[in-house]
Amino acid sequence: MPDIFQQDIMYVPGVGPQRKELLKKELGIETFGDLLEYYPYKYVDRSKIYRICDLNGEMPFVQICGEFLDFEEYIMGVRKKRIVAHFTDGTGYVDVVWFARAKQITKGLKVNTKYIVFGRPTAYGGRYGFVHPEIELAKDVELSAMGMQPYYGTTEKMKKAGMTSHAVEKITKNMLERITQEIPETLPPFIVNRLRLVSRDTALRHIHYPGNAGEMSHARQRLKFEELFYIQLNILRYVSDQRRKYRGYVFPHVGTTFNSFYHNHLPFPLTEAQKRVIREIRQDMRSGRQMNRLLQGDVGSGKTLVALMSMLIALDNNYQACIMAPTEILAEQHLATIREFLGDMPVRVELLTGMVKGKKRKETLEQLATGEVQILVGTHAVIEDAVQFLRLGFVVVDEQHRFGVAQRAKLWGKSKNPPHVLVMTATPIPRTLAMTLYGDLDVSIIDELPPGRKPVQTIHKFEYQTTSLYKGIRQQVAQGRQAYIVFPLIKESEKMDMQNLEEGYTKLCEIFADMRLSKVHGKMKPAEKEAEMQRFVNGETQILVATTVIEVGVNVPNASVMIILNAERFGLSQLHQLRGRVGRGADQSFCILVTKRKLSAETKKRIDIMCDTNDGFRIAEADLKLRGPGDLEGTQQSGMAFDLKIADIARDGQLVQLARDEAQHIIDNDPECNKPENGMLWARLAAIRKNNVNWGAIS
């Protein structure tokens, strides 16, 4: 990038030292390059003048041309004034209102002079008004040159200092006028020409100042593609490098252990989806390259069985296997499930968590090092330095977004070569998100439930109907079932009028005085939380009152009712995860979404989707569109939160695929990254990697 893009924005007209510091602190903008890539979030067509008589309350920002008739001043309190000006264009009248800095704003305005007023019209007292609009002398405005006016995001501190969107726009315009040479290209001609993209120079100039909607659209298309392309190129180059660098263990045999389990201990016939996934895993394990595979499947789809059968293949080839879970209770459930599946088979399975101490811990570690322990089930305790395997060949990471990149990488150090890795999640991930967030993993999907499972019936109720809900819980408990009641808050918040767990638990203890209740939330000490969970798992309590800490990893087949209070406060994926706590047995289960009566259109849509379908992938796609990718699949916990400047994973699915295909084409034709025609790409990628998170280093 030429030196001009590294130039300090302080020297752009309209900035100076104070504004430079404000832009740096609030938006991270220090250089010409930073400002160039700070894109507008919307545009308004400034080429049209509206008549006052044509205004209506549904209009967005519009501009009118006319004269001020007079100015009225109203005292609003100590040192506070409101100024109302009456404005006309000959077809009607509007009020123009100022609350803050009114004197400074109106100082230069005159009556009987033509002005253009630009803002959002709002109806009040039978006539339209504009609050703090933009005002310019009509003689200074050339409408044909105004085109689409950009709007930039600003913070409260910026607004207080007079740094509005309009101010950012003027600074950006001044900067672009100083960039007289052509902005360098970052994509090779063969990509630009084949995809019919505008040049980078044109794109960056038109994204800030498009003459019309077409120019704006072409600029956005070019910049979105470039952003997504380099993300995909980074991921695929990482994958290519890893595959050339690391050999995977070759597991050529499916032997006695696997076959004995398959023919004598399989708890139920495998679904076609499970068979397909096992074939995909089997192919990876004998290919000679290290497997990195993401296994997606809804709650109850049989992922653990697939993981166990894959681990048995490792055992048949004289290697050990390990499964790592995010919580102790989930690790214990995996241990119990695996031992139940294996029955009397001579396979040594042991548990290693923070709760395993003393003699038992010492014994497990010793037998792990000698190879006597064949399958280790544990929490993050398995990555401690004291844990040494004899021959670790296969690793399963459950609900992997609960583990950091560094934690998972430590498992690699337990083996001479990196072990095969199977990452499991019960959170269905939309294809475009998986392609970006888990782009270095091959994806397998279990998209059908084992026979005999009944879909959970989801019902929407309002808060005033809780009496009938509690009656339903009594009926279920009378039949020997258990129930969850989920609250969104632990303690009452003054800002949010939501039901809270502490107060709700007390009331529920009174309502269900003849029953035993457990209480679980994230602020409890881990041992206390585990003990309360265990009481419910063991059937000692009939009702578990909890926050969302139970959304992952609680397996109680006897629980048949899930009541989610203030369901309007939860995202779709979270609601789906919570619903997944029930429906794990053969009995019909119910999920009741309890909301306030007054709901926004978007919230109503979320609730309707939940009631209409149990398909996790359909729900995940809808959630991505409603909420965006930022907090889906725990991207924030894992340190991989999105930092996209212009592209949108939810809405730009086709572009994500196009970028992926183009990046794959480059890698396939230049695996060593040394062809001259791709030199621009590798140089640009190196610069991006230097400044940003390595999108490839995920698994």
DSSP string, 400-448: GGGS-HHHHHHHHTTSSSPPEEEEEESS---HHHHHHHTTTSEEEEE-S
Q: Which of 18-27, 63-72, 215-224, 287-296 has the lowest mean pLDDT?
A: 287-296
Q: Is the pLDDT of residue 403 over 70?
A: no
SS3 567: helix
pLDDT above 90 for 273: yes
Between 165-178 and 200-208, two packed helices, what is the crossing angle to 10 degrees?
150
Rounded average pLDDT over 351-362: 91
* Radius of gyration of the chain measured on its C-alpha atoms: 31
Of the ranges 66-70, 230-234, 270-274, 428-432, which one carries the lowest mean pLDDT score?
428-432
Residue located via tokens 């000679």: 288
Report the candidate in 564, 300, 314 with the shortest Cα–Cα distance to residue 458: 564
Highest mean pLDDT among 132-136, 327-331, 648-652: 132-136
What's the one-letter identity of residue 419? P
**Looking at the predicted structure, is the pLDDT value of residue 145 above 70?**
no
pLDDT at 107: 77
* Whether pLDDT at 350 is above 60: yes
Burial (CB < 10 A; 0-12, 13-18, 19+), residue 509, is middle
Residue 627 has a pLDDT of: 63
> Rounded to an integer, what distance in angstroms lies between the CA atom of residue 424 and that of residue 437?
14
pLDDT above 70 (res 499): no
The pLDDT assigned to 440 comes to 72
Q: What does the pLDDT look like over 553-587, one tens digit per residue? A: 567 888 999 999 999 988 887 888 889 888 877 78
What is the pLDDT averaged over residues 31-40? 93
608: left (phi over 0), alpha (psi -120 to 50) or beta: alpha
d(CA 320, CA 329): 23
Per the CB < 8 A criterion, the answer to whether 589 and 617 are in contact is no
Give me the mean pLDDT over the 295-303 stretch: 84
Residue 410: which region, alpha, beta or left (left: phi > 0; alpha: psi -120 to 50)? Answer: alpha
What pLDDT score does 578 carry?
Answer: 87
What pLDDT shows up at residue 551?
55
Residues in the chain: 699
Q: For the packed helices 328-342 and 526-537, what is the interaxial angle rounded to 10 degrees?
A: 40
User: How far is it, in rounded angstroms, from Cα 490 to Cα 493?
Assistant: 9
| 538-542, 590-594, 596-600, 614-618: least confidently modelled range | 614-618
Q: Percent of the chain scored above 70 by pLDDT?
A: 90
Between CA 437 and CA 154 the distance in angstroms is: 28
CA distance 84 to 101: 13
pLDDT number for residue 637: 31
Residue 233's pLDDT is what? 93
* CB 175, CB 9: distance < 8 Å: yes
Q: What pLDDT, on a 0 to 100 scale, did the predictor assign at position 400?
A: 57
Q: Pick from 329, 254, 327, 251: which is nearest to 289 by CA?
A: 251
Q: Which of 262-271, 406-415, 629-638, 683-692 has the lowest mean pLDDT?
A: 629-638
Which of 58-62, 153-157, 549-553 is predicted with the least confidence, judged by mean pLDDT? 549-553
Q: What are the Cα distances from residue 293, in Å, to 101, 271, 278, 394, 410?
A: 60, 19, 11, 12, 18
Cβ neighbours of residue 460 under 8 Å, at least 6 residues apart? 567, 592, 593, 595, 607, 608, 610, 611
**Average pLDDT in the 432-442 region?**
73
Region 600-618: what's the mean pLDDT? 88
Residue 60: per-residue pLDDT: 80
Runs of H (alpha helix) within 538-678: 572-579, 601-612, 616-627, 653-669
pLDDT confidence tier of residue 270, bands split at 50, 70 and 90? very high
- Beta-bridge partner residues of 46: none
Res. 404 pLDDT band, cuts 50 70 90: low
Using CA atoms, how far apart are residues 145 and 152, in angstroms rounded to an integer?
Answer: 20
Q: What is the average per-residue pLDDT within 292-302?
A: 84
For 298-426, list the strands marked E by DSSP: 320-324, 349-352, 375-378, 392-398, 420-425
Average pLDDT value for residue range 451-471? 86
Q: How confident is the model at residue 636 (pLDDT cuts 50, 70, 90)?
A: very low
Residue 503 pLDDT grade (very low, low, confident, very high; cuts 50, 70, 90): confident
What mean pLDDT do residues 382-411 have? 77
What's the rounded Cα separation, in Å, for the pair 625 and 613?
17
The order of strands in the sheet holding 114-119 is 122-124, 127-131, 93-98, 80-88, 62-77, 114-119, 134-137
* CA 482 to mean position of chain CA atoms: 32
Distance CA 259, CA 553 (A): 29
Q: Which two tokens stand for residue 626?
A: 């409603």
Mean pLDDT of the chain: 85
Whether the per-residue pLDDT at 471 is higher than 50: the answer is: yes
Token pair 């800030």: residue: 208
Instruction: Give the full edge-to-edge strand order of the sheet including 457-462.
Output: 457-462, 590-595, 559-564, 482-486, 543-546, 517-520
Reported pTM: 0.69
Q: What is the mean pLDDT of residues 7-15?
A: 91
Q: What percent of the chain has pLDDT over 90?
A: 45
- In the structure, what pLDDT confidence band is assigned to residue 634 with cuts at 50, 70 and 90? very low
Report the run of H or E that residue 684 belongs to, with start and end. Answer: helix 679-691
Instruction: Give the Cα separation of 204 and 239 in Å (integer).
Output: 31
CA-nearest of 5, 6, 30 to 20 is 30
DSSP per-residue letters across 148-210: EEEE----HHHHHTT--HHHHHHHHHHHHHH--SPPPP-S-HHHHHHTTPPPHHHHHHHHHS-
Which of 421-435, 485-499, 578-592 tops mean pLDDT? Answer: 578-592
Q: Which amino acid is at 321?
A: A
Across the strands, what pairs with 42? Answer: 151
Q: Is the pLDDT of residue 34 over 60?
A: yes
pLDDT band at 436 (very low <50, low <70, confident <90, very high): confident
Q: Check: CB of residue 604 under 8 Å from CB of residue 595.
A: no
> Picking from 53-67, 237-251, 420-434, which range would have the lowest pLDDT averaged per residue?
420-434
pLDDT score for 416? 77
Q: Cα(305)–Cα(337) distance, rounded to whole angstroms? A: 9
Residue 252, SS3 per DSSP: coil
Token digits of residue 416 = 């001479």
Sign of CA dihedral 48, 49, 52, 57: positive
What H or E segment, with its residue span, contains residue 45? strand 42-45
Most confident of 395-399, 609-613, 644-648: 609-613
Three-state SS for 496-557 is CCCCEHHHHHHHHHHHCCCCCEEEECCCCCHHHHHHHHHHHHCCCCCEEEECHHHCCCCCCC
For residue 644, pLDDT over 90 is answered with no
